[in-house]
C-alpha cells in the first residue's frame, strides 16, 4: 500500500441499511458499510452486483428506497423531520443536494467532460458555479491540478484532442477542484485502451496519498492489492465480505468471492 498523509478529520461515510430497486429488480439489499476518513476502499463484484448503484446512492445520484447515507454524520440528500409517527426523512431541495455533492466528488467511467470546453475550463467550471470562488484563485488551482495529473501542457486542449487516459485525468482534476471530502470512482479505467490504464491508476494512487477518502469500483485486482486499505466484494446486491486486501483477495471466506477471483485473476 502507498504511504498515507495524516487522515483528515472529514470524510467518514456510513451506509445504513440501504435498499434500491429498479422496478422488480432489487439492486441493493440492506447494505451496511463504513468508509473511514482518509482510507481507500476498492469495491469488487460481477456486473450487475450493485457496485455502481452503491456509489450513485452515496452522493444521491440515485434515491434510495430505504435506509440512508451520511458523510461526517450529515444525511446525504435528506433532512430528518419530526412526523406524527416519529422521525421521517424529507428530501432536500436540488440546490442543497448540489451543495452536498461538492463535498462528494464523482469520477465517471465515461469521463463526462464538456466537449465544447478546454481542459482548464472543464476543471474551473464547477468551483466557479457551485462554490462562488474567485476566478483567479480557481484558475490558479486548476492549473496546479492539471500539472499534478501530468497535463500542464494540455490546459487549452478540448476533449476531442485528448486520449482517453488524458480525458480521465482531466476528469480527476475536475473532481479534485471542488476539494471534496470523499471521492468516488466508478470503474475509472473500464473505457480505456489497456495501454492507458496504468497512467490513470498512477494518478489515483497519488490522490490516495493525500488523505481524501476514496471509494473505487474497479476490476483492477493489482491496484486493489497495492493501494486499498479495505476491499468490499458485492454480489447480487449484497455485501458478501469485506476486509483487508490480503484477507479478501488471498484468503476469501465466501465461495462466491473465491469463484469471482478465480475468473478475474
Residues 105 and 184: beta-carbon distance below 8 Å: yes
Q: What are the respective helix, strand and coil percentages of the chain, to the nearest 5?
A: 40, 25, 35
- Grid coordinates representing 66 are 430505504
pLDDT (average), residues 166-192: 94
Annotated domain spans of the chain: 13-112+181-262
- φ/ψ of 39, rounded to 5, equals -100, 165
Q: Does 151 score more than 60 pLDDT?
A: yes
By the 10 Å C-beta count (0-12 exposed, 13-18 middle, 19+ buried), 63 is classed as exposed
Protein fold of 13-112+181-262? Rossmann fold (3.40.50)
CA angle 36-42-47, nearest 5°? 135
- Cα 246 to Cα 10: distance, rounded to the nearest angstrom: 27
Least reliable range by pLDDT among 132-136, 140-144, 235-239: 132-136
Specify the pLDDT at position 81: 87
Residues 165 and 202: beta-carbon distance below 8 Å: no
Residues 72-118 have pLDDT tens digits of 999 999 998 876 666 788 999 998 998 899 899 999 988 999 999 99
Residues 257 and 46: beta-carbon distance below 8 Å: no
Q: Does 1 score more than 50 pLDDT?
A: no
pLDDT (average), residues 109-132: 92
- Give the SS3 label for residue 103: coil
Amino acid at each position: 500500500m502507498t504511504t498515507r498523509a495524516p487522515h483528515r478529520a472529514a470524510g467518514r461515510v456510513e451506509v445504513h441499511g440501504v435498499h434500491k430497486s429498479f422496478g422488480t429488480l432489487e439492486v441493493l439489499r440492506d447494505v451496511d458499510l463504513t468508509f473511514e476518513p482518509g482510507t481507500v476502499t476498492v469495491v469488487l463484484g460481477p456486473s450487475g452486483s450493485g457496485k455502481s448503484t452503491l456509489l450513485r446512492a452515496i452522493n444521491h445520484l440515485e434515491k434510495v428506497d430505504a435506509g440512508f447515507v451520511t458523510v461526517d454524520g450529515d444525511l446525504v440528500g435528506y433532512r430528518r423531520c419530526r412526523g406524527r409517527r416519529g422521525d421521517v426523512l424529507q428530501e432536500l431541495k436540488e440546490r442543497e443536494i448540489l451543495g452536498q455533492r461538492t463535498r462528494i466528488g464523482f469520477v465517471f467511467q465515461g469521463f463526462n467532460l464538456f466537449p465544447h470546453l478546454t481542459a482548464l475550463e472543464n476543471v474551473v467550471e464547477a468551483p466557479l458555479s457551485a462554490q462562488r470562488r474567485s476566478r483567479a484563485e480557481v484558475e490558479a488551482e486548476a492549473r496546479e491540478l492539471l500539472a499534478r495529473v501530468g497535463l500542464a501542457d494540455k490546459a487549452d486542449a478540448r476533449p476531442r484532442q485528448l486520449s482517453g487516459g488524458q480525458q480521465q485525468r482531466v476528469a480527476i482534476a475536475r473532481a479534485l477542484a471542488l476539494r471534496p471530502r470523499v471521492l468516488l470512482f466508478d470503474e475509472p479505467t473500464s473505457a480505456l485502451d489497456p495501454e492507458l490504464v496504468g497512467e490513470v491508476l498512477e494518478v489515483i494512487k497519488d490522490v490516495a496519498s493525500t488523505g481524501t477518502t476514496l471509494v473505487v469500483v474497479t476490476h483492477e485486482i493489482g491496484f486493489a492489492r497495492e493501494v486499498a486499505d479495505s476491499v468490499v466484494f458485492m454480489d447480487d446486491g449484497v455485501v458478501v465480505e469485506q476486509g483487508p486486501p490480503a484477507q479478501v483477495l488471498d484468503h476469501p471466506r465466501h465461495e462466491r468471492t473465491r469463484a469471482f477471483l478465480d475468473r478475474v485473476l
